[in-house]
């Protein structure tokens, strides 16, 4: 019974998610606009950090959440706000591994539109500082 209810809940919640998110379109956009640098499995390359098993850590603090949108590959991409929100949600779902909790808050078009107008012009130091803040926040929890 427990299993049956669990399965039902999973189907219902995936249905609700599917309404907002078109998985195939998100994957197509990742392939077209992101994969060239980030690799098919999000593993990255020289000077492209791995999204795989890492991207979820940035969601720990508000500045980290914004960072994923403000990084130039996201902020200045040709994707519109809704499609960028969708592809980021897709990346997190596909690649984050254990780095993101099950119930992370999905990006929305309006959040993207508010944040992407502030693209980062310096990433390396900003990212290092952020990672230190995230480690400190995790240590407190
Ligand atoms: C031309 C290569 C390139 C493309 C295309 C690209 N990125 Fe990136 N991305 C990078 C590099 C390089 C970094 C490392 C930070 C920096 O130097 O900008 C990065 C970092 C990121 C990060 C932060 C990861 C971290 O650990 O710091 C995210 C999120 C991201 N990109 C998302 C995207 C998305 C979404 C797309 C497609 C819409 C995309 N990128 C397209 C090169 C690219």
Residue 19: predicted pLDDT: 47
Largest CA distance in the chain: 54
Residues in CB range of 65: below 8 A, 6 or more apart: 58, 59, 105
Ligand 1 pocket residues where CB is under 6 Å = 33-34, 36-38, 47-49, 51, 54-55, 68, 71-74, 77, 79, 87-88, 123, 127
pLDDT in tens, 42-99: 999 999 999 999 999 999 999 999 999 999 999 999 999 999 999 999 999 999 999 9
Q: Cα 113 from chain centroid?
A: 15
Distances (CA, A) of 118 to 66, 71, 75, 81, 121: 9, 9, 8, 14, 9
CA distance 55 to 53: 6
CA-to-CA dists, residue 136 to 61, 71, 130, angstroms: 10, 22, 10
The closest residue, in CA terms, to atom 31 on ligand 1 is 73
Token pair for residue 26? 């998100």
**Banded pLDDT at 9 (limits 50, 70, 90):** low
Q: Give me the pLDDT at residue 53, please.
A: 97
CATH class, 22-140 region: mainly alpha
Domain chopping of the chain, boundaries:
22-140
pLDDT at residue 33, as a whole number: 98
Of 81, 68, 72, give the one whose Cα is nearest residue 29: 81
Does 121 have pLDDT greater than 80? yes
Alpha-carbon torsion 115, 86, 37, 134, what sign?
A: positive
């Amino acid at each position: 019974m427990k299993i049956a209810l669990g399965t039902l809940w999973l189907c219902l919640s995936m249905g609700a998610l599917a309404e907002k998110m078109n998985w195939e379109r998100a994957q197509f956009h990742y392939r077209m606009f992101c994969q060239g640098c980030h690799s098919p499995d999000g593993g990255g390359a020289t000077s492209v950090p791995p999204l795989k098993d890492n991207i979820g850590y940035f969601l720990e603090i508000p500045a980290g959440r914004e960072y994923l949108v403000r990084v130039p590959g996201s902020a200045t991409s040709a994707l519109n706000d809704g499609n960028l929100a969708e592809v980021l949600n897709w990346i997190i779902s596909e690649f984050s591994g254990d780095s993101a909790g099950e119930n992370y808050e999905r990006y929305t078009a309006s959040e993207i539109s508010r944040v992407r107008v502030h693209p980062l012009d310096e990433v390396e130091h900003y990212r290092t500082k952020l990672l230190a803040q995230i480690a400190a926040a995790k240590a407190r929890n």
